[in-house]
């Protein structure tokens, strides 16, 4: 790998530390929409809407309204936020003022989120950052972002702008709870409204032009938007009203004095972008130099240079001696620098004309076209890659992908969130247990003592013990996790469960124990296993986004015959993992550094506009985990899974010991055929509905 795109949750010191320990180029998001969840750690859209964010199809349910509720130790439920708000909708990222810090951190590439955005947005943002970078390169010690640049960025689509996590976790200030779409830029307040003429008077704090898009935030009834027409100041129509003036413009709906007015689109910016879209826009062209030599009885010679590459082209015919109209400097420049929709613009032109030469204009144009084609090819050649022969690749895959019926008794694996749950699992006779990683039990942590006790309990029960690592490990947590791995290694468990690539590398550095890969590494196909071929994986967990047919197709692959395959058959699936904690932000009203940890007192959940409740849990790293409203259960599918030599995982980290014991008993009976596999048994125990996730419906 030549370059990696870092997580958007990293801070300046963390990025700098990564740079100092690696040679690979670093790319960092600097502008655009922020996901509230860690990338790749979100199944929210997938499970509630059937459209997977991991496949670029996110429906953005996080941008909808929610109410945060708290259930205290006495079971009383109260609303933390008094009304539905966009509690999971972050402001947009803007790091233009942090360019010096980005450079200092060793960042090589700035990434701008422009997918599904219009030309006005993309053109304005890219142009603004490009100009700022150029100024920084020219005079780093004098670098400042211009006021008009900040105004331009806040005029195009934005939900409010923030520094994200780059300058430290912001807590509530990271979010835009009152608005999930374009906010625009504040430009003034309403003075009065003329009901009869449908016109609004505004006291301007910034300029306003004909054709601008504005939106008035009314106190009751939401928003009133329009495109500015009939703009007048002091009774005279104007094309632009200046800051400080009072201006009238047409507005179809009634607003009130004091209502705030926001600029949501700029006609001036739009005109600028339209110029940028033209083929002859100079800013989109590569500057080139052109040198011409021409003389009678000799071919015309054109040398063209750009980006350090040079080509020389000669006319096919020799120049003649002109009888009336010899070639002049002006004629040559007019025809040879007419570069039209080519990727070049002539920055300089020189001509050495000897005697009185003459060539038809068509010959001049042909020389220009040949030079453009050759120079383009020469520049692109450095980036040329030979095309892959897919016939050879497919033939090779057919020869290596063989079918082999997977068979053997399947067994239950329990993922326990604390020692009490672990004891329940072992008492029930579980042959394999997973424990460790994050803790979701208030007051409990997987300390060295707890890990040691857990391993000893598993050994006494003759069960396989797998120690899990946290789902996410940030750079600042690396030392603590390395110590955790070393402690775990000394206990000699039967393996580690890792959930991301960093954990895999850290384990391999200090331990030769077996490694099991969690579903968060996205095992969808045989190619995934090939990537990890040199890591000697002992087993992996299939993605919960796979449907039945896809699962069974993988089970019969010969490549998987010697590796343990695990399938999640019960548990509260994590819809997202986020560095932003809504409990700390909205219940504690504090950023993480000063959060009073209200998450330790009682339970929390988010209720959506359809009165569906999503449990919220927070781990010891202050990361927020949103759980699905319904537990996943494949109890009714056990008959088809029992002879596939599968590890069937029961994720019981979020259950009480009493409920966990009942769930294990039901699945043990279902797997052995001793009891019915009717889902209603579980629904009665859990007092809630269940889901089969994507097992039948699949995902887009």
Residue with tokens 């910034």: 206
The pLDDT of residue 533 is above 90: no
pLDDT band for position 695 (50/70/90)? very high
**Stretch 484-510: mean pLDDT, rounded?**
96
Residue with tokens 């500057």: 287
The whole-chain average pLDDT of the chain stands at 92
| In the chain, % of residues over pLDDT 90 | 79
Mean pLDDT lowest for which of 73-77, 205-209, 257-261? 73-77
**Stretch 516-540: mean pLDDT, rounded?**
89
Residue with tokens 């015959």: 561
CATH of 409-573+628-691, picked from 3.10.180.10, 3.30.750.24, 3.20.20.70, 2.40.50.100, is 3.20.20.70
What's residue 395's pLDDT? 72
**Stretch 588-605: mean pLDDT, rounded?**
87
Mean pLDDT lowest for which of 157-171, 302-316, 402-416, 671-685? 671-685
Contact 532, 681 (CB under 8 A): no
* C-alpha–C-alpha distance, residues 167 and 99, integer Å: 12
**Pair of tokens at residue 206:** 């910034």
The alpha carbon of residue 358 and the mean position of all alpha carbons in its chain are separated, in whole angstroms, by 60
Convert the pLDDT of each residue in 576-587 to its tens digit: 999 999 999 998
Cα end-to-end span (Å), the chain: 29
**Stretch 213-227: mean pLDDT, rounded?**
85
**Residue whose C-alpha is closest to residue 67's, from 628, 610, 698, 644:** 610
Sheet strands (E) in 119-205:
161-162, 185-194, 199-204
591 against 311, higher pLDDT: 311
What's residue 220's pLDDT? 66
Q: Domain spans of the chain?
A: 3-34+90-172, 43-86+575-618, 185-265, 287-379, 409-573+628-691
pLDDT band for position 81 (50/70/90)? confident
The pLDDT of residue 278 is above 80: no
What's residue 281's pLDDT? 76
The pLDDT of residue 416 is above 80: yes
Contact 631, 399 (CB under 8 A): no
**Stretch 75-91: mean pLDDT, rounded?**
89
Helix (H) or strand (E) holding 272: helix 267-276
The pLDDT of residue 330 is above 90: yes
pTM strictly above 0.85: yes
* C-alpha–C-alpha distance, residues 419 and 227, integer Å: 63
**Which architecture does CATH list for 185-265?**
Beta Barrel (2.40)
Convert the pLDDT of each residue in 625-680 to its tens digit: 999 999 999 999 999 999 999 999 999 999 999 999 999 999 999 998 877 778 88
Q: What secondary structure letter does DSSP report for 414?
A: E
The alpha carbon of residue 113 and the mean position of all alpha carbons in its chain are separated, in whole angstroms, by 9
CA angle, 579 then 585 then 589, to 5°: 150
pLDDT band for position 396 (50/70/90)? low
* C-alpha–C-alpha distance, residues 472 and 482, integer Å: 13
What's residue 147's pLDDT? 94
The pLDDT of residue 555 is above 70: yes
Alpha-carbon dihedral sign for residues 470, 471, 476, 478: positive
Look at residue 28 and give its three-state secondary structure. strand
């Amino acid at each position: 790998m030549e370059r990696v795109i870092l997580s958007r949750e990293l801070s300046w010191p963390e990025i700098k530390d990564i740079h100092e320990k690696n040679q690979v180029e670093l790319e960092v998001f600097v502008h655009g929409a922020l996901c509230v969840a860690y990338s790749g750690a979100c199944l929210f859209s997938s499970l509630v809407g059937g459209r997977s964010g991991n496949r670029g199809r996110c429906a953005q349910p996080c941008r909808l309204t929610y109410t945060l509720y708290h259930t205290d130790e006495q079971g009383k439920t109260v609303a933390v936020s008094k009304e539905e708000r966009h509690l999971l909708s972050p402001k947009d990222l803007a790091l233009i003022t942090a360019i010096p810090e980005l450079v200092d951190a060793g960042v090589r590439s700035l990434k701008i989120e422009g997918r599904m955005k219009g030309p006005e947005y993309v053109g304005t943002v890219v142009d603004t950052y490009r100009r700022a970078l150029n100024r920084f390169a020219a005079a780093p010690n004098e670098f400042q972002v211009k006021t008009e640049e900040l105004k331009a960025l806040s005029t195009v689509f934005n939900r409010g702008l923030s520094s994200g996590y780059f300058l430290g976790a912001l807590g509530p200030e990271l979010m835009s709870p009152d608005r999930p779409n374009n906010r625009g830029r504040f430009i003034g307040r309403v003075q009065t409204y003329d009901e009869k003429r449908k016109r609004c008077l505004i006291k301007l704090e910034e300029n306003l032009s004909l054709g601008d898009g504005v939106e008035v935030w009314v106190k009751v009834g939401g928003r009133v938007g329009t495109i500015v027409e009939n703009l007048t100041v002091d009774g005279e129509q104007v094309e632009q009203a200046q800051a400080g003036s009072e201006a009238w413009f047409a507005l179809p709906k009634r607003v009130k004095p004091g209502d705030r007015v926001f600029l949501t689109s700029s006609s001036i910016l739009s005109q600028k972008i339209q110029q940028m879209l033209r083929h002859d826009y100079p800013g989109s062209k590569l500057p080139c130099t052109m040198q011409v030599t021409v003389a009678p009885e000799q071919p015309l010679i054109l040398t063209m240079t750009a980006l350090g590459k040079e080509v020389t082209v000669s006319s096919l015919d020799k120049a003649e001696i002109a009888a009336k109209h010899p070639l002049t400097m002006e004629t040559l420049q007019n025809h040879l620098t007419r570069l039209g929709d080519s990727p070049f613009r002539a920055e300089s032109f020189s001509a050495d004309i000897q005697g009185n030469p003459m060539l038809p204009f068509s010959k001049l144009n042909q020389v220009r076209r040949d030079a453009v084609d050759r120079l383009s090819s020469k520049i692109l050649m450095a980036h040329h890659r030979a095309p892959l022969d897919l016939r050879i690749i497919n033939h090779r895959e057919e020869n290596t992908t063989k079918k082999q019926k997977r068979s053997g008794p399947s067994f239950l694996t329990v993922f326990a969130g604390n020692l009490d749950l672990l004891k329940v699992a072992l008492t029930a006779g579980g042959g394999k247990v997973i424990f460790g990683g994050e803790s979701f039990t208030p007051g409990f942590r997987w300390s060295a003592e707890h890990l040691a006790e857990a391993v000893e309990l598993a050994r006494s029960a003759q069960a396989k013990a797998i120690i899990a690592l946290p789902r996410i490990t940030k750079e600042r947590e690396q030392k603590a996790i390395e110590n955790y791995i070393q402690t775990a290694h000394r206990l000699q468990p039967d393996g580690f469960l890792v959930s991301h690539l960093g954990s895999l590398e850290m384990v391999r550095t200090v331990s030769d124990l077996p490694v099991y890969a969690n579903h968060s590494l996205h095992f969808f196909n045989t190619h995934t296993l090939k990537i990890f071929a040199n890591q000697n994986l002992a087993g992996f967990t299939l993605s919960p986004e796979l449907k039945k047919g896809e699962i069974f197709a993988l089970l019969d692959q010969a490549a998987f015959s010697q590796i343990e395959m695990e399938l999640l058959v019960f548990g509260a699936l994590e819809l997202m993992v986020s560095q932003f904690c809504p409990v700390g932000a909205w219940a504690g009203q504090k950023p993480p550094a000063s959060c009073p940890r209200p998450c330790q007192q009682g339970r929390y959940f988010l209720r959506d506009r359809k009165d569906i409740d999503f449990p919220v849990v927070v781990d010891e790293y202050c990361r927020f985990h949103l759980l699905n409203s319904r537990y996943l259960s494949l109890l009714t599918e056990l008959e088809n899974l029992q002879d596939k030599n599968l590890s069937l995982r029961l994720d019981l980290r979020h259950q009480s010991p009493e409920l966990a014991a009942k769930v294990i008993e039901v699945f043990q009976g279902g797997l052995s055929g001793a009891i019915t596999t009717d889902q209603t048994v579980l629904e009665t125990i859990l007092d809630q509905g269940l889901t089969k996730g994507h097992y039948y419906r699949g995902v887009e």
